[in-house]
Structure 1
């Protein structure tokens, strides 16, 4: 391991070193990595050197930027952390951004806003932009502009043979990385398209959870009426009794409808009016806001913590399924979120992202001890499910779950490409595609 510290510019840690525990920890604190060695990469060159070192010693490789989506903790492996690779640049004339592996969305959102532009980022500004995009990227404006993965122009990646490659649409590897993620290598940078959005009309309608079934039913009917300018989700959230939580929802279980609209205020108000008639509201925050404040629409916790979660694509729901979902999720004190899809997601794109025709993606997040209850939710919803969602699988995943994230022919092609680019399955601490 001493040799490795000479070969890379970034720090190297082994168990017992000061800083080892901090370096291996990410946002997800359940089931953390415990690698044999960590390389804190500062550049693509460090990544390439680390991969070659590991491959020569048959050490499997894990990758971590922010650690939000940890699925398979690494043991006896080499962990590459990329959070030091935080460089990015905005090209306002081209409407693009180049982003290194460790960049979080907040930095890009703030910088792009200076030019009246926005990335297709998600609900949490602290999530790593690259890993989010490789998994698809169901974001704040997904119905209006599509998935983040659909707006990638080029990817820079180091594959298991230690070779640096730059790939774009038309390349098999480009296609596989956007959906298959770090099964094929470590993406050290990407060029993405930005969209001309500086403001939106958004916010949250909050109801007491005692009428959650009515809220979800009304939401399900409402989503069939809205144009692509409206991206939304329905959720049930058990809010803690903490001072930073707004008083109307503090310490309560709350049913919410979250709205992000690029339509004008009058149009959005007209479209949202039926939702305000569902029942008494605890809070209504719908208003004009800059895109830099889009994360305020959601309730993503800012602090690292332990959790288990997963997500599935749904073709629809009926009343009994909604009731079963909410009852089982309530027993687990889970956060339930139903994201409306469709719109600009539909159709083909030069990537491996699956289930583009789904109506919703359902996300469930709770403490790790509630896994059995959450798995029961998915069993109850099986008649409506089309497969799992790669970006929302937080915790151990099985081969069947990963396979279900793709169409059968897509998974077969991914598996063949995995055998080409990583035949030894060095990159296995992930939603693993078997070569």
Structure 2
């Protein structure tokens, strides 16, 4: 069992994760390579009366790690059982590895928009994914979990009964989908929001979709049509064969850029095109039963191009199988989620205040929020 203390070379690299806006300084880091290492780390923490934190990729970090940090990034085993359409993954596995392994057998996982996210943390947060409206959240597909209990013993049990060292879950028979995005210029944002809202009113559950307002920086790595502009970005993931017909009302608005196409599921990470590099960010959200005109006005006023501190604002379509999920984040009334995601600039307090102005008028009509989209701050 390899360990790192604050004074040792490699300590800073070991605690680094995708979220750079929170500074952790645990007394000890355990670089786990097996479930036995995790169990030993838990027992060691108990002996020293220290709290335990766990980190794989660090995307969902909400508070600084203290005491003993168990790093599971080396636990990346993936096994596919094609006859049962089941995957078994170790605690540090990312979705990209599962997507690639499952595709060899004509299968796919219920992964999210970013293949670099860790499977276990994503699933513990409920697992809101590209195909969730049809198949439900990833957490509903878990068959079994290998865990380490608080007393340092290993067991098989519920995913919330200890530290998860491995998960076994169902895969789905998906090899391709119609997906990608439509990008619209700033002046069209209000029309895009309304048109997308109306378009989602009676979609089949084989469609997963969201609309985002994104303030793109004026940097060379941004595609020229989008560079330096505040863009509306409609994302689509569809399991049907008539994709062009389905999105015709959206295309009629005249996008700057159109990436919609039939693609292998292994390319599904291109749909949202999220940044792959670590950075500092804060995020929160509210779940709503409807997307009324006054809600769109609130969104535009507090998160649109003219907002003082505009975030990346994302509205996701829920409904479908989410209405029947056992995950507490979703209810029969959960229809949309409004998400704000911001770089921590100029400082966290300013960003939180801007988010509060957006969410305060939405709170009276909100049915809750999704845990998986609360970033860089406690659930509270």
TM-score, with structure 1 as normaliser? 0.83
* Per-residue deviation, 1:32: 2.2
Q: Deviations over 1:96-118 (max 9, x none)?
A: 10000000110110111111110
**Which of 81, 84, 103 matches 2:71?**
81
Counterpart-to-counterpart distance in 2, 1:113 and 1:244: 30
Distance 2:333 2:169 in 1: 24
Deviation at residue 322 of structure 1 after TM alignment: 1.3
Tell me: CA distance 1:85–1:118, structure 2 relative to 1, closer, same or farther (3 Å).
same
CA contact (8 A) 1:24 1:33 kept: yes
1:221-232 alignment, distance < 5 Å: 221-232=198-209
Paired residue for 2:277?
A: 303
Is residue 259 of structure 1 aligned with residue 244 of structure 2? no
TM-score (normalised: structure 2): 0.94
**Counterpart for residue 37 of structure 1:** 28
Written as runs of structure 1 = structure 2, the 5 A alignment for 1:14-413 is 14-75=5-66, 77-167=67-157, 173-174=158-159, 177=160, 184-264=161-241, 267-277=242-252, 279-329=253-303, 330-349=307-326, 352-355=328-331, 357-368=333-344, 369=347, 370-397=351-378, 399=380
The answer (yes or no) to whether the contact 2:371–2:379 under 8 Å persists in 1 is no
Q: Which runs of 5+ in 2 are unaligned?
A: none
**1:385–1:49: structure 2 CA closer, same or farther, 3 Å change rule?**
same
CA contact (8 A) 1:332 1:374 kept: no
> 1:322–1:185: structure 2 CA closer, same or farther, 3 Å change rule?
same
Please list the CA deviations of residues 312-359 of structure 1 after superposition, one character each: whole Å capped at 9, or x if unmatched: 21112222221222221243231111110111222143x555435400
3-state SS of 1:30 partner? coil
Structure 1's 223 and 375: CA in aligned 2 closer, same or farther, altered over 3 A? same
Pairwise CA RMSD: 1.5
Moved more, 122-131 or 207-216: 207-216
Flag structure 1 segments of 5+ consecutive residues without an equivalent.
1-8, 168-172, 178-183, 400-435
Residues 235, 338 of structure 1: 8 Å contact kept = yes
Contact 2:329 2:370 in 1 (8 A): no
